[in-house]
Amino acid sequence: MKNNLLAVVAITAALGVAAPALAGDADLCLDCHEPAEDWEGLSAHEVLATAKDTSIERHADNADLNDEQLKAIVAELLAE
Ligand code: HEC
């Protein structure tokens, strides 16, 4: 039981450290988008949903990212 708890703490810590390292991935969207113009008036939720929409052919690469990664990217881009 105690070991499980330690494992959870270790994994959480590892993810916490990994998140900022993902920030550079925001460049992926910037290859094609100017967030302030393209996504004006869209909520983070809408941007996230559209980013995952691979019926937009050019979003095929976004499928390589998991939800957490996309969320971090969208949050970063909308914060600028
Ligand atoms: C290879 C080019 C490409 C990349 C990379 C890309 N997109 Fe797009 N995105 C498009 C195209 C094409 C559309 C279709 C709408 C249009 O014609 O502008 C679109 C549409 C959107 C829209 C709907 C609003 C709009 O601009 O029309 C959102 C929101 C969006 N993308 C988010 C993202 C996010 C977030 C990422 C990064 C994780 C991303 N996109 C990466 C090409 C791209």
Domain spans of the chain, in order of start: 23-79
Task: Kindly list the averaged pLDDT for each block of 10 residues, start to end, along the chain of length 80.
Answer: 60 53 74 95 96 96 92 90
Ligand 1 center to 5 CA (angstroms): 40
Q: From CA 9, how far away is CA 59, in angstroms rounded?
A: 34
Segments of 1-80 assigned E as strands:
none
Closest Cα to atom 19 of ligand 1: 56
**Which protein residues are within 6 Å of ligand 1, measured from CB?**
28-29, 31-33, 38-39, 42, 47, 50-51, 56, 58-59, 61-62, 70, 73-74
Task: Quote the pTM value.
Answer: 0.79
| Tally of residues, the chain | 80
Ligand 1 center to 32 CA (angstroms): 7
Query: Residue 51: what pLDDT?
Result: 96
